[in-house]
Structure 1
Amino acid sequence: MRVSQRSGLFSGVAALACATVLLEIALSRMHGALFGQAHAFVTLALSLVGAGLGGALLYAAPSLARPPALFARLAALSSLASGATLAAIILLAHRGPASATAPGALPWLALVYAASTVPFALAGLALAAAIRHVAAEMPRLYLLDLVGGSLGGLAAAAALRAGAPRAALAAAIFFSVAGVFFFLGSRREGEQRAPGGLVATFVLGSAVLLAGDIGAPWLRLSGLRQAKVDRIDTEVWNERSLITVDRPRAGSATVRIDGVAVSPIFDAKATPPHQPEDIAYALHRDQGPALVVGAGGGRDVRAALKAGQKDVVAVEGERGVVELMRGKYAELSGHLYDKPEVQLAVSDGRSFVRRTPRLFRSIVIPSAETAEAAATGALALTEARLFTVEGIGDFLERLLPEGTLVVSRPEGDLDRLLVVTAAALRRAGAAEPNDHLFACGAAQRTALLVRRTPLGRADIDALRRHCRRHKLAEAFAPDRPKTPIRARLVAAADARAAAPDAATDLTPPTDDRPFFSYAVPARRLPGVLADWKALRAEHTGLLALASLLAVASALFALAALLPRLAARLAARREPPPGAAGTPPGAVDGAAGTPRRARALAFFAAIGAGFALVELAVFRHALLMLDLPSHELPIALTILLVSAGLGGLLTARVKPDAAAGVSARAAEALAVAAALAAVGLVPLARWSLGLGSFPRALLAVALLAAFGLLAGSLAPLGVKLVAAASPALLPLCWALGAFAGAAGMALGALCAMNLGYSALLLVAGLAYLVAAVTVPPAPAGAAALDDAAAAAGAPPAREAAGAPPAGDATGARPDVPEAAPIA
């Protein structure tokens, strides 16, 4: 089979990108199941860290992948990435710890992350080499790279149904397929032949391992959090979570989502034990209708039916749980979700209440979080839009005048819950929020009842009788706030003034900062980050973010120093300037430094800006789509394809005009980020009340507009740098990737402490930096950066495609098809 080098290169890059995104998503699900949700977020940055490592390595050692051995090295790197993927998933599957906070877990975590980064580093090295040697084709290469990445996201949605380990095995196969494409591209006269045996080994090996696992499963995570593998009856993966169900025992089974959310499934003949949230029916009993948000295994739906409710609406956002309840466990639950009294909706709770015209007498939001997750800060990075001021307000609007909202949370969250409900009541017009609240709890869980109209004496007495009858401890009442601080928190319009020295953040979460489980006050953040023991024990999510920020920042600093180190080494090897036989400018001088610094700063700025804006825009687009278990691949595809198209539109931009176009695009992104800081959160909240189709159109418009603009900057930057300093391209790519990884960590910290609006303003600042640091268009074809000279790169006019001196045909003997393809 004969394949042109152009086809081999482009197809190989697309397969490489597909494998990278598929592996990124599969590993994030595995890490999330083993170590917690914060580690799933950190894992998404590994591809950026790997891309940065690959680019920095190619800059430091350009001989690793260049003509005439370019295709041979690309094939070898892709095959080795396949092998590294197999090693990483086998390591994870058979040695996963039960807890990331367990003694001795940190060295193991470091090993896991190092092993998980190796495939991305090898793929990043291959991609950097392709960009370095085919810079003239960057717009098309960039499009195929991002389209391949979007296909990887779609493949993940399908492959994860078979399990995250198998999805990772599929990624190993795609890496090996990329090696095949590069191998076929190497079969050209003058090009070093790729190692066919190595390529074939990993193609066949990865396929055989996947087939073997399908026939006789051997890849299964052995260290799942909060679940013993030998007791698991069902295991279901999707792109959002791992759902496990224990074998039914004593009339019930337990549903777990990533080990942090737990919900029981009770036998139809069993009587579920009473829980604090059942206070919802103490005042209304059989009067309905009732709404249960987060129905899960159905315990709270059963409680509503037991109270005599004849009209119960159950909302569940996890489609996998619904499929289990209506499938394998339908008989165990007595076909609970198919009863005529129960109406089931698969949707986000906020979206449902914003769209439905119905009013409810009782709304129940049960707590599914485990005590460990709440105590260790494992959910600090998880958005909780049900528990924001606007979210509570949306539920209050769906209540009848005498209706009640009951929210259940771990008992340590009660003060924060009181603050957010009091703020929502004030917005709804309540003069004295204190008169609308009552709370009781048991077994480290507290239920807060919120009524639209004030509670009367008879209502309070009825609630107290309910608590005594079911042995629930009263935690708050209008006439007995239990503690002075709770009385002040509910009464004060500013919670910080009511408790200025509180160890936890008591300001009410909002849609702009919807991180209910993150409760570290900004004033205490430096001290918490400096307290290693507290981080490990109580703030595991924050620890994961801080670690990512530290590693990415350190790698960024080291990569930024590479040109200076390379210049010093070159200066030591060369005779002094002016010595006989030494051409002027062969040794590092000041002439190229400003151009090099601007190029590096530009790529760092667009890398950080993209990560920062993506965190906000992508998250809100997911909210608008509201397609449970399917929104991630759809949003990812829209974003990546639009970014690729944005890059393709730059194909006709000449190098002398690229600087101006880049500056205008960066300025437009800065303006867009500033506008989004004002309007994105209100727009997302307003869209929750729209139908599915107009919301989807809005999400597509948002993602596509951002993708088209942001996607144009990298190809334009490559065009400018390649025209003057082609050897600098791998380092530019590396700094952009490292800045993106650091931007993900910094952006998450910014959103958690200051909100998404502040995050978008920081993103706008990054794009302003990009606008003022755009590399200048080369003054002439002979312009060359000092770093390129030190690395022994070809003249800029050769790299740009001009014929080298003495060769009128333009052919380069060591670069096939004009650097390397035509």
Structure 2
Amino acid sequence: MRVCQRSGLFSGVAALACATVLLEIALTRIHGALFGQPHAFVTLALSLVGAGLGGALLYVAPSLVRPPALFARMAALSALASGATLAAIILVAQRGPASVSAPGSLPWLALVYAACTVPFALSGLALAAAIRHAAAEMPRLYLLDLVGGSLGGLAAAAALRAGAPRAALAAAIFFAVAGVFFFLGSRREGEQRAPGGLVATFVLGSVVLLAGDVGAPWLRLAGLRRTTPDRTELEAWSERSLITVDRPRAGAAMLRIDGVAASPILDAKATPPPQPEDIAYALHRDQGPTLVVGAGGGRDVRAALKAGQKDVVAVESDGGVVALMRGKYAEFSGRLYDKPEVHLELGDARSFARRTPLLFRNIVIPSPETAEAAATGALALSESRLATVEGLGDFLARLLPEGTLVVSRPEGDLERLLALTAAALRRAGAAEPKDHLFACSAAQRTALLARRTPLAREDIDALRRHCRRHKLAEAFAPDRPQTPTRARLAAAADARAAAPDATSDLTPPTDDRPFFSYAVPPRRLPAVLVDWKALRAEHTGLFALSALLAVASVLFAIAALLPRLAARAGRVLRRGAAAASATDAAAPATDAAAPATDAAAPPRARALAFFAAIGAGFALVELAVFRHALLLLDLPSHELPAALVILLVSAGLGGLLTARVAPSAAAGASARVAEALAAAAALGAVGLVPLARWSLGLASIPRALLAVVLLAAFGLLAGSLVPLGVKLVAAAAPALLPLCWALSALAGAAAMALGALCAMNLGYSALLLGAGLTYLLAAATVPPAAAGAGALGDAERERGWRDERDGAAAGAPPAGEAAGERPDVPEAAPIA
């Protein structure tokens, strides 16, 4: 079978992108289950780090992948990426979990990340080669690259149900399939033949390994965080997480999500033991209706039924949990979710609260996170849309006047929970929020009760009797705040003023900064970051972000220095050649060549700065826009792949729209698009959070349409900048393209860490303002159009391609390429 090179190139690039996104999502799930949620976020940046390493390597050693061995080398790289994927997933799965704070764990974690980066580096090298040698086809190439990535997102949604390790095996198959496409493209006359045996080996090997795991499972995670393997009865992957259930003990089976959240599934005959959140029924007894947010294993639903509630609405956002409760554990739990008194809602709880016309007498928001996860800062990067001033306000609005809202958290979070609930009550019209609050605790958990109307004396007495009867410790009451700090937090409008010397951040989280579990005050952030021991033990989220920022920044700095190092090496080589020459004519020629390099330095620096800026800007805006789009999409367990498809396809279409832009006009178009993105980021900083909150009251279809408009608008604009930049650089210095691609990817990886830190400390609005400044930098550093750009016809482009191919076949590199300079012959696509 023979295919034209254009088809082989496009199909191979699409398959590479599909495999890359699928592997990225699979590794995110695996690392989240084994190492914790912060490592899941860091894993998202691995593909960018790998792409940067691949591009930098191609810039340093362009002979690795160039005609006439272009397709053969791309096929080999794809096959090796498949093998590296298999090796990495087996290494990670068989070795098991690790804790950042454990002695000797850092070398192991570094090895894991290095192994997982190799497939991305190999595929990044192949993609950089495609861009380098097919720059004229960049709009279509970029479209197919992003469409392939969107298909990888859809494949992940389906494959994750079979397990993240199997999804990684599927990614290995797609890498090998990309090698097949490149192999078919190498069968053109004049091209070096690809190693068909190598490609076939990894195609068949990855398929056999996946089929073997389906028939007789062999690839399982060796151990899970905070669980004992001999106690685990069930492991099930959902689109969101790894769900495990322990063997029943004392009438309960513990359901865990990624090892950081736990919720008991009670036997149908068991009586729910008292918990602090049961205080919700101390005032109203059997009067309802009741809303339970985050039903999980159903313990709080059972507690409501035990209290005599006849109308219980349970909201659960994870479809995998619902499937288990209505499947394997339906009989064990007494078909809890199918009882006539229980009405199950699958979806986002805040959206449900905004849309439902019901008013509730009791609303219970339990916190399933474990005490260990809270103490180690493992959830610092996790957003909590419920524990914000606006979120609690939405639930307070769904209460009857005498109704109560109960929120539970780990015991150490009580002060911040007090400040948060007081702020929500104050926004709801309460003059003295402290008169509306009561809290009790037990077993390292605290439940805070809030009522829209003040608690009367008899209400407080009833709550105290409930605490004494169930052996709960009173933690706060209007007349007994327990500590002066709690009294001030419940009464003051400014949490910082109420506790200026607090070691934890007590300011109420908002929708703009929804990180309840992140409690490092901005003034203490530098001290925390330099305290290495405490950072590893108590702030694992910050540790992961710091490590990502440090690694990405160092790699970015090294890559940015490569042109200077290459130019210096080129001058040394030329001087050596001049000294060895016996003729006097060679020396003047060498001296005349040096100014050309110096003269090209400013445009080269602008090109590199432009690509770095658009890479960082895309990552910063994506963090904010993607997050708000996920809030708008009402697709339980499927919002991530849906948003990914919309964003990537729209970005690809934006790149395709640049196909008709002449190189001479690309500079002006790039500047205008970057300025438009800067303006859009500034508007988003002002209006994106209010827009997302307002949309929660809309029906599903209008919200989905709003998400599509938001993602598509950003994608169309941002997606056009890369092809436009490639046009400009390809016309002036095509040998610089791999380095531009590398700096864009590495800047994006560093920006992800900086953006997350910015959002956690200052909010998403500040993040968007930073993104706007980044795009303004991109507009200011657009590389100039080359003289005569756009005047090169198809015949000249093809002749330039043939000249370079013939020169490479003879063993001579294109002029200036070894030193990272512009070749003498312009280059176009090596396709037919």
TM-score normalised per structure 1:
0.96
Determine the structure 2 residue equivalent to 1:802. Answer: 797
Determine the structure 2 residue equivalent to 1:59. Answer: 59
Structure 1 outlier segments of 4+, above 6 Å: 796-800
Inter-CA distance 716–82: structure 2 relative to 1 (3 Å threshold): same
Determine the structure 2 residue equivalent to 1:788. Answer: none
Is the contact made by 1:433 and 1:490 (CA closer than 8 Å) also made in structure 2?
yes
Is the aligned partner of 1:231 residue 2:231?
Answer: yes
Q: State the one-letter code of the partner of 1:275.
A: Q
Q: Which of 686, 702, 708 is equivalent to 1:694?
A: 702
Is the contact made by 1:19 and 1:174 (CA closer than 8 Å) also made in structure 2?
yes
Is the contact made by 2:729 and 2:783 (CA closer than 8 Å) also made in structure 1?
yes
TM-score normalised per structure 2:
0.95
Determine the structure 2 residue equivalent to 1:32. Answer: 32
Determine the structure 2 residue equivalent to 1:358. Answer: 358
Residues 504-583 of structure 1 mapped to structure 2, 5 A cutoff:
504-575=504-575, 579-582=587-590
Determine the structure 2 residue equivalent to 1:637. Answer: 645
Determine the structure 2 residue equivalent to 1:303. Answer: 303
**What per-residue deviation string (whole Å, max 9, x for no partner) do you get for residues 84-127 of structure 1?**
00010000110022533222111110000000000000000000
Determine the structure 2 residue equivalent to 1:654. Answer: 662
Determine the structure 2 residue equivalent to 1:368. Answer: 368
**What per-residue deviation string (whole Å, max 9, x for no partner) do you get for residues 712-759 of structure 1?**
000000000000000000000000000000011000000000000000
Is the contact made by 2:67 and 2:805 (CA closer than 8 Å) also made in structure 1?
no
Deviation at 1:779, TM superposition (A): 1.6
Deviation at 1:638, TM superposition (A): 0.3
Is the contact made by 1:723 and 1:800 (CA closer than 8 Å) also made in structure 2?
no
Q: Partners in 1 of 2:221 and 2:148 — Cα distance? A: 28
Q: Which of 678, 686, 694 is equivalent to 1:670?
A: 678
Residues 100-119 of structure 1 mapped to structure 2, 5 A cutoff:
100-119=100-119
Q: State the one-letter code of the partner of 2:797.
A: A
Q: Partners in 1 of 2:245 and 2:262 — Cα distance? A: 10
SS of residue paired to 1:385 = coil
Determine the structure 1 residue equivalent to 2:80. Answer: 80
Q: Partners in 2 of 1:568 and 1:366 — Cα distance? A: 63
Determine the structure 1 residue equivalent to 2:397. Answer: 397
Is the contact made by 2:131 and 2:138 (CA closer than 8 Å) also made in structure 1?
yes
Inter-CA distance 297–750: structure 2 relative to 1 (3 Å threshold): same
Q: Partners in 1 of 2:104 and 2:223 — Cα distance? A: 15
Determine the structure 2 residue equivalent to 1:721. Answer: 729
Determine the structure 1 residue equivalent to 2:604. Answer: 596
Determine the structure 1 residue equivalent to 2:766. Answer: 758
Deviation at 1:222, TM superposition (A): 1.1
Determine the structure 1 residue equivalent to 2:742. Answer: 734
Q: State the one-letter code of the partner of 2:544.
A: A
Segment drifting more, 11-20 vs 493-502: 493-502
SS of residue paired to 1:579 = helix
Gap regions ≥5 residues in structure 2: 579-584, 810-826
Determine the structure 2 residue equivalent to 1:263. Answer: 263
Deviation at 1:342, TM superposition (A): 0.6
Inter-CA distance 800–343: structure 2 relative to 1 (3 Å threshold): farther
Q: Partners in 2 of 1:77 and 1:137 — Cα distance? A: 21
Is the aligned partner of 1:49 residue 2:49?
Answer: yes
User: Taking every aligned residue pair, what percent have the same amino acid on both sides?
Assistant: 83
Is the contact made by 1:797 and 1:803 (CA closer than 8 Å) also made in structure 2?
no
Q: Partners in 1 of 2:712 and 2:588 — Cα distance? A: 58
Is the aligned partner of 1:314 residue 2:314?
Answer: yes
SS of residue paired to 1:777 = coil
Determine the structure 1 residue equivalent to 2:338. Answer: 338
Q: Partners in 2 of 1:296 and 1:591 — Cα distance? A: 65
**What per-residue deviation string (whole Å, max 9, x for no partner) do you get for residues 290-315 of structure 1?**
00000100010000000000000000
Is the contact made by 2:100 and 2:537 (CA closer than 8 Å) also made in structure 1?
no
Is the contact made by 1:570 and 1:587 (CA closer than 8 Å) also made in structure 2?
no
Q: Partners in 2 of 1:227 and 1:366 — Cα distance? A: 21
Deviation at 1:498, TM superposition (A): 1.1
SS of residue paired to 1:333 = coil
Q: Partners in 2 of 1:122 and 1:478 — Cα distance? A: 63
Q: Partners in 2 of 1:32 and 1:366 — Cα distance? A: 22
Residues 240-279 of structure 1 mapped to structure 2, 5 A cutoff:
240-279=240-279
Q: State the one-letter code of the partner of 1:190.
A: G
Determine the structure 2 residue equivalent to 1:385. Answer: 385
Determine the structure 2 residue equivalent to 1:820. Answer: 830
SS of residue paired to 1:221 = coil
Determine the structure 1 residue equivalent to 2:817. Answer: none
**What per-residue deviation string (whole Å, max 9, x for no partner) do you get for residues 54-99 of structure 1?**
0000000000100000011000100000000001000011002253
Deviation at 1:348, TM superposition (A): 1.3
Inter-CA distance 72–583: structure 2 relative to 1 (3 Å threshold): farther
Is the contact made by 1:722 and 1:800 (CA closer than 8 Å) also made in structure 2?
no
Q: Partners in 2 of 1:484 and 1:265 — Cα distance? A: 39
Q: Partners in 2 of 1:814 and 1:458 — Cα distance? A: 93
Deviation at 1:814, TM superposition (A): 5.8
Q: Partners in 2 of 1:100 and 1:213 — Cα distance? A: 30
Q: State the one-letter code of the partner of 1:758.
A: A
Q: Partners in 2 of 1:56 and 1:534 — Cα distance? A: 35
Determine the structure 2 residue equivalent to 1:785. Answer: none
Determine the structure 2 residue equivalent to 1:771. Answer: 779
**What per-residue deviation string (whole Å, max 9, x for no partner) do you get for residues 129-156 of structure 1?**
0000000000000000000000000000
Q: Partners in 2 of 1:678 and 1:238 — Cα distance? A: 35
Q: Partners in 1 of 2:409 and 2:641 — Cα distance? A: 31
Deviation at 1:245, TM superposition (A): 1.2
Inter-CA distance 190–803: structure 2 relative to 1 (3 Å threshold): closer
Segment drifting more, 574-583 vs 50-59: 574-583
SS of residue paired to 2:358 = coil
Q: Partners in 2 of 1:119 and 1:202 — Cα distance? A: 13
Is the contact made by 2:137 and 2:829 (CA closer than 8 Å) also made in structure 1?
no
Q: Partners in 2 of 1:564 and 1:7 — Cα distance? A: 37
SS of residue paired to 2:797 = coil
Q: State the one-letter code of the partner of 2:599.
A: A
Is the contact made by 1:798 and 1:804 (CA closer than 8 Å) also made in structure 2?
no
Inter-CA distance 324–113: structure 2 relative to 1 (3 Å threshold): same
Q: State the one-letter code of the partner of 1:802.
A: R
Determine the structure 1 residue equivalent to 2:160. Answer: 160
Q: Partners in 1 of 2:749 and 2:14 — Cα distance? A: 22
Q: State the one-letter code of the partner of 1:413.
A: D
**What per-residue deviation string (whole Å, max 9, x for no partner) do you get for residues 298-351 of structure 1?**
010000000000000000111100111111111011011111111000111111
Inter-CA distance 810–75: structure 2 relative to 1 (3 Å threshold): closer
Is the aligned partner of 1:420 residue 2:416?
Answer: no
Is the aligned partner of 1:584 residue 2:579?
Answer: no
Determine the structure 2 residue equivalent to 1:453. Answer: 453
Deviation at 1:252, TM superposition (A): 1.5
Segment drifting more, 98-107 vs 336-345: 98-107
Q: Partners in 2 of 1:814 and 1:437 — Cα distance? A: 80
Is the contact made by 1:567 and 1:587 (CA closer than 8 Å) also made in structure 2?
no
Q: Partners in 2 of 1:818 and 1:349 — Cα distance? A: 53
